[in-house]
Amino acid sequence: MAEICVSVGWTGVGSFTTTFTRVYGMPPTAYRARFPAPETYAMVPSCILKFFGRPKNKSFREDTAGPPP
């Protein structure tokens, strides 16, 4: 968290946590615990699932002779 805070312009984790608590009414750890992890509700488009779910071995023969003369 410290690396993220500094990379987006905060001077340290303490100043970020104080401001976060003031704005959201709870510290970042309590806020994170309130919500499920993103991977539990992130939707993956079906086209992506189909692409990565396709068999890796070809089940048909492709013409490797090249274009006709």
Report how far residue 32's alpha carbon sits from residue 36's, in angstroms, rounded to the nearest whole number: 8
Report how far residue 56's alpha carbon sits from residue 34's, in angstroms, rounded to the nearest whole number: 40
List, for residues 8-67, the tens digit of each pLDDT value: 888 888 888 888 899 999 998 898 888 877 767 778 787 877 777 766 666 556 556 666
Residue 11 lies in a domain: yes
Residue 10 lies in a domain: yes
For the full predicted model, state whether its pTM sits above 0.75.
no
Residue 65 lies in a domain: no
Residue 28 lies in a domain: yes
Q: What is the pLDDT confidence band of residue 4, given thresholds at 50, 70 and 90?
A: confident
Q: Which domain holds residue 27?
A: 2-53
What per-residue confidence (pLDDT) applies to 8? 80
Domain count, the chain: 1
Residue 47 φ then ψ, to 5°: -65, -35
Residue 8 lies in a domain: yes
What per-residue confidence (pLDDT) applies to 26? 92
Residue 15 lies in a domain: yes
Residue 25 lies in a domain: yes
